[in-house]
Chains A and B, each alone.
Chain A
Amino acid sequence: MKSKNLEKDSLKSRIGLALYKYKYIYILLIPIVAYVIIFSYFPLYGAQLAFKEYNASKGIWGSEWIGLANFRRMFTEAGFLNALKNTVTISLINLFGGCLWPPILAILFSELRMTKYKRVLQVTYTFPHFLNWVILSGIIYSMFGSEGIVNAALNALGFEDQNLLTNPGTFRIFLLVTGVWKSAGWSSIMYIAIITAIDKNLYEASALDGASRIQRIWYVTIPEIAPIFSLGFIMAFGGLLSGNFEQIFNLYNSTLYEVADTIDTYLYRISFMQEPSYGYSTAVGFTNSVVSCILMFSFNALQKRLGGTGMFEGGVRG
């Protein structure tokens, strides 16, 4: 009896002691915990709507459970299946068609000797990364529209008008090209940093052995950047379902839904344009984030198995 009391006391005092000893940390925890509960856990709590029929007057908790009906609807809705197919297709096109440009650009940059000019070039190539797709789509529409410079130039050269903005056959390639145009310069920075860190002696030694510039790139530079490249490439598969929402949403129009409507753009339309069904929208959004999470972890695991470091280790170790 007595010993039990003692234990209780010591537990209490241990907690008290910990609270006292770490008081600054616990005080600092308060704003973070409060923020995360409101802005991250409430939406997570709201995700239960995926299994419900939302009724605004009854609230999230009071709305009626309808089991998997929202999910079943997802797989019978032609719009969703089309969006799913497009999301994966567009991501794959961007992944395979876009992955080589940043390392190529980085190699070109680091081979260039005119230091001042290189700086000018780099500023120019990385600039579009800092503009949003609203601005860029404005510029693109003005250039490629029926009265834009592109069609004027085509006419001047004796070709017919091409409206790339409404042509379903070429739109995905159009997305790829404009996407590379916006971000390849910025993505090359990482590779440039790695190339700059390569031991200069390697280049000198290979030059003395008679290696040409091309051979030096092939045998010294490329093996050094290859690991980062493959890491990025494999990890990118984890983002297969997070399509280029901002780009597509600003560039597409209803003539292109069949080839360019992705899960995110579909989600926007069903949530805010037609008669919204919040339960169904939540089901679509939540499925997307759960599947993305699974994909991310699987490709992270695959990457580790192939001998790289996973994305989580870097942080914890650092």
Chain B
Amino acid sequence: MSKRKDKSFLDRVTFFDVVLALILTIGMFTMVYPFWNSFLVSIVPQADLLLNPTMIIPKRLDLSAYEYVFTESLIPRGFVNSFIISVSHAALNVILTVIGAYIFTKKFPGQKVFWVFVLIPSIIPGGLIPSYILMQKLHLINNQLALILPGCFGWSSALYMARFFRSVPVELEESAKIDGASEVRIVWQIIFPLVLPFIAVTALNSFVASWNSWYSGMIYMRSANKMPLATILRDLQQAAKNVMTSDQMAADGQKVVHSEAVRMACVMTATIPIMLAYPFAQKYFIGGLTAGAVKG
């Protein structure tokens, strides 16, 4: 009886709930519609769109834009490049972060020195030009290593992971030591499996960050067929944008300007895989974000 009363207090659907659902649904429309509109531009014959620009449901389909994207454009090449770059970057990032985090959890002579040594450059970075000169000196201009190597070790992400290393009970380590396990074995067989979920989240975040980055691709890469997807996509948009705002035509005029449909087909080709994967990956991202907050 009392349970039912509680229910009526807190769980009764009221006018408030209806308004709430309505507000959030309108919000969702503004989140979804831009993607739907771009999708329409990419699959509907342009004549139809000119006649009826505010259409929601298409009457006829025209997939020639996608045909172009997959056969003529550099987009498929960009996918391959981005995949290679992002996987390598994420792998290297995870290896260095795990090593750094493990060192952070240990006491050893020179610990303070090491701490300050890695802290200084992460609070005052050298900047764009010195990094560019570094890449020149390493002869990595127009080499995909220039997109893979930088940014693989960060003080803050190592610290973040060190927190999870510390959450492994000390007793577990000690009893393994008593049983005669070596340091390497303790790390590999005891600590590692316990922190694996956090390592996976670090890898995932690092992969996404690398996948989404376009700036380094823009400044370090020269040949279009070596560029990551995001940079290729940007070049494509930029050529059209410059015509639209009618400036820098001279500088970028030689670049091919595609139709709106082709550009949106490129954008959608880049978006749809993420859209399909995201609902399944979301909980890992959220887990990674909130685990740190709740533990801290």
Contact = CB atoms under 8 A, between A and B. Distances in A.
B234 interface: yes
A17 B237 CA distance: 61
A47 B126 contact: yes
B224 interface: no
Contacts of B213: 132
A227 B13 CA distance: 31
A100 interface: no
Given A121-B28, A181-B31, A282-B127, A28 B103 contact: yes
A78 interface: no
Contact of A29 (B6, B114, B127, B289): B114
A243 interface: no
Contact of B278 (A108, A127, A132): A127
B54 A193 contact: no
A166 B282 contact: no
A28 B99 contact: yes
A131 B271 contact: yes
* Main DSSP-derived SS at the A contact region: helix
A134 B278 contact: no
Contact of B16 (A124, A213, A249): A213
A289 B121 contact: no
Interface string B170-205: 000000000000011000000000000000000000
Contact of A246 (B13, B215, B260): B215
Contact of A35 (B30, B96, B215, B290): B96
A6 B248 CA distance: 76
A274 B248 CA distance: 13
Given A152-B53, A255-B245, A44 B28 contact: no
Interface string A139-152: 11111011101001
Contacts of B214: 132, 134
B17 A113 contact: yes
A156 interface: yes
A318 B51 CA distance: 62
A102 to B, nearest CB: 12
Interface string A240-281: 000001100110011100000000000110011000001001
Interface stretch (A85-93, A168-176, A203-211, A218-226): A203-211
A1 interface: no
B106 A25 contact: yes
A114 B11 CA distance: 11
A116 B130 CA distance: 51
Interface in A4-34: 18, 22, 24-26, 28-29, 31-33
A46 interface: yes
Interface residues of B, number: 101
A315 B159 contact: yes
A38 B270 CA distance: 33
Interface residues of A, number: 99
B13 A35 contact: no
Given A132-B230, A282-B127, A289-B127, A139 B166 contact: no
A141 to B, nearest CB: 6
Interface in A104-146: 105, 108-109, 111-114, 117, 120-128, 130-132, 134-135, 137-143, 145-146
Given A35-B153, A189-B289, A208-B9, A138 B117 contact: no
Contacts of B225: none
Contact of B233 (A31, A46, A134): A134
Interface in B111-132: 114, 117-118, 120-132
Interface stretch (B34-42, B58-66, B69-77, B83-91): B34-42
Contacts of A121: 24-25, 27-28
Given A31-B99, A204-B6, A271-B129, A318 B53 contact: no
B242 to A, nearest CB: 8
Nearest to A273: B251
Contact of A130 (B102, B219, B278): B278
Q: Which of B16, B128, B267, B278 has the most CB of A within 10 A?
A: B128
A122 B160 CA distance: 26
Interface of B: 6, 9-11, 13-14, 16-17, 20-21, 23-25, 27-28, 30-32, 34-35, 37-38, 41, 53-54, 96, 99-100, 102-103, 106, 108-109, 114, 117-118, 120-134, 149-153, 156, 159-160, 162-163, 166, 183-184, 208, 212-215, 219, 230, 233-234, 237, 240-242, 244-245, 247-248, 260, 263-264, 266-267, 270-271, 274-275, 278-279, 282, 285-286, 289-290, 293-296
The 10 closest A-B pairs by CB, nearest first: A43-B126, A46-B130, A285-B127, A152-B53, A40-B121, A132-B212, A43-B130, A138-B267, A193-B290, A44-B126
10 contacts: A32-B118, A35-B152, A40-B118, A44-B125, A60-B130, A111-B16, A125-B31, A138-B38, A138-B263, A197-B294
